[in-house]
Amino acid sequence: MSHKTLKVNCPTCGKRFTWDDRAHSRPFCSERCRLIDLGEWLGEGYRIPERTAGQPFDAPEDDD
């Protein structure tokens, strides 16, 4: 059985790295990038949009 080497881009810095058991900070290339991403969440740099009362999750916004 042949194993393919999976190469992915780090979501923080964009560096390509091999996704395997040695990549302990997956999906990030390093602990540094993982902590940068965590800091963005903790500092509210990333946000999940708030939905308005009574609006289903998949309803499009009104552009009127």
The secondary structure element, H or E, covering residue 9 is: strand 7-9
CATH 3.30.50.10 matches 7-42: yes
What integer pLDDT is reported at residue 17 of this predicted model? 95
* pLDDT tens track, the chain, 64 positions: 556 789 999 999 999 999 998 999 999 999 999 999 999 999 988 888 777 776 666 656 665 5
C-alpha 62/C-alpha 64 separation (Å) is 6
Dihedral (Cα; 41, 45, 46, 50), 10-degree rounding: 110
What are the two backbone dihedrals, phi and then psi, of residue 53, each rounded to the nearest 5 degrees?
-55, 135
In contact, 18 and 9? CB cutoff 8 Å: no
Q: Parse the chain into domains and list their residue ranges.
A: 7-42
Q: Which amino acid is present at 33?
A: C
